[in-house]
């Protein structure tokens, strides 16, 4: 194992292990670019539908709209990470933008988790506890709840704006929020705890909601109803997206913490685990690409609006083509 001491960094913060050389994962920026190409149009269409075509708003619709807003934080931030990886993880945008970039990425992750969970819980209460006060939540109350969720998410990520994350020397310029420092501040420890807890707690809630809804409806022979099937699919899709996007990073992150805590001298293994964690970034960023599936499955209003717009465009093209054929036919007759 490599036991060399860490070199000097900006902010007088020492690294746990010597810095990684260039992470030779050429496909990572390619995957991130593909995610941007697919995710950006999907979220632009979703934002357009919510802002200009959504006539009837409900609490779960408002939660979905906030999920779209969270995705745009990611869409704004990811191009800088793509540029960073194309340069072999050499950050050129300075310390301040490093802090802001990591903050926006973390807020996107936390807010996505929060509003996915809110949508799933809304479906759960509507199906299993239809007479509960939560099932009769008004749009104003949903707005206050959304504001509270944003406030909590931002508060938990403030430490990312107050800590220097840029490791800088003659050959390295790394901008990361995990696994670099030998001594973590209280704020960074809060960030680590939030990163882990915000996955496992909502994930267990989602699994419970999914199982409870399915069992409840099968007991009452209601699982074949179209509206009920939508609720089942909604929670199932959210659980699937949640697991694919966020579980790999959390598991690898906990592995890194274990190596750092119980085998601090094993820098070779720690470097490998850190590389795996960087790979998991691709899964984390995938959530903005998959979220449009959640919009379609969880909101019949969104789904119907999208289908209506598609049908309108298709009809428009057909009518335009038909008109051209008629005009050509008339000219031939002259």
- DSSP for 264-309 reads TT-HHHHHHHHHHHHHHHHHHHTHHHHHHHHHHHH-HHHHHHHHHH
Residue-level pLDDT at 114: 94
pTM listed for this prediction: 0.81
pLDDT in tens, 310-322: 554 544 444 444 4
Cβ contacts of residue 47 below 8 Å, gap of 6+? 68, 72
CA proximity to 155, closest of 190, 182, 119: 190
Q: What does the alpha-carbon distance between residue 15 and residue 4 come to, in Å, rounded to a whole number? A: 11
Residue-level pLDDT at 69: 93
Residue-level pLDDT at 226: 64
Question: 297 and 230 in contact (C-beta within 8 Å)?
Answer: yes
Q: Indicate the domain borders of the chain.
A: 22-302
Q: Is the pLDDT of residue 89 over 70?
A: yes
Reported confidence tier of residue 278, pLDDT bands at 50, 70, 90: confident
Residue-level pLDDT at 251: 93
Residue-level pLDDT at 20: 52
Partners of 175 in the β-ladder? 166
pLDDT in tens, 95-153: 999 999 999 999 999 999 999 999 999 989 988 888 898 889 999 999 999 999 999 99
The DSSP call for residue 20 is P
Query: For the domain 22-302, what is the CATH code?
Result: 1.20.1070.10
Reported confidence tier of residue 333, pLDDT bands at 50, 70, 90: very low
Q: Is the pLDDT of residue 5 over 80?
A: no
Residue-level pLDDT at 121: 92
Percent of the chain with pLDDT over 90: 24
CA proximity to 210, closest of 297, 99, 327, 97: 297
pLDDT in tens, 11-65: 434 455 665 544 455 778 888 898 889 888 888 988 888 888 887 888 989 999 9
Average pLDDT over residues 228-255: 86
Question: 4 and 18 in contact (C-beta within 8 Å)?
Answer: yes
pLDDT in tens, 183-208: 677 777 888 888 899 999 999 999 99
> Would you tell me the crossing angle of helices 267-285 and 27-48 to the nearest 10 degrees?
30
């Amino acid at each position: 194992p490599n036991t060399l001491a860490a070199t000097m960094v900006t902010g007088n913060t020492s690294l746990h292990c010597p810095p990684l050389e260039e992470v030779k994962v050429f496909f990572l920026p390619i995957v991130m670019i593909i995610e941007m190409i697919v995710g950006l149009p999907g979220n632009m269409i979703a934002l357009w539908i919510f802002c200009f075509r959504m006539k009837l708003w409900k609490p779960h619709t408002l939660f979905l709209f906030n999920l779209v807003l969270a995705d745009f934080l990611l869409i704004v931030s990811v191009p800088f990470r793509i540029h960073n990886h194309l340069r072999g993880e050499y950050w050129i945008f300075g310390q301040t933008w490093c802090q802001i970039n990591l903050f926006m990425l973390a807020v996107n992750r936390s807010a996505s988790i929060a509003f996915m969970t809110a949508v799933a819980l809304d479906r759960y209460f509507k199906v299993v506890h239809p007479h509960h006060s939560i099932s009769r939540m008004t749009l104003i109350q949903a707005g206050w709840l959304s504001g509270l969720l944003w406030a909590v998410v931002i508060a938990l990520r403030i430490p990312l704006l107050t800590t220097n994350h840029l490791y800088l020397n003659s050959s390295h310029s790394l901008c990361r929020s995990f696994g670099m420092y030998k001594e973590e501040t209280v704020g960074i420890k809060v960030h680590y705890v939030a990163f882990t807890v915000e996955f496992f707690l909502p994930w267990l809630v989602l699994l419970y909601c999914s199982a409870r809804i399915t069992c409840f409806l099968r007991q009452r022979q209601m699982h074949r109803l179209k509206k009920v099937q939508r609720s089942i699919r909604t929670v199932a899709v959210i659980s699937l997206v949640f697991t694919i996007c966020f579980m790999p990073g959390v598991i690898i992150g906990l592995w890194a913490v274990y190596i750092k805590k119980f085998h601090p001298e094993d820098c070779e293994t720690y470097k490998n685990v850190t590389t795996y964690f960087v790979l998991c970034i691709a899964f984390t960023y995938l959530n903005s690409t998959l979220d449009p599936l959640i919009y379609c499955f969880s909101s019949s209003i969104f789904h119907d609006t999208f289908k209506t717009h598609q049908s309108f465009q298709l009809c428009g093209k057909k009518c335009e083509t038909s008109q051209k054929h008629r005009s050509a036919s008339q000219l031939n007759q002259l």
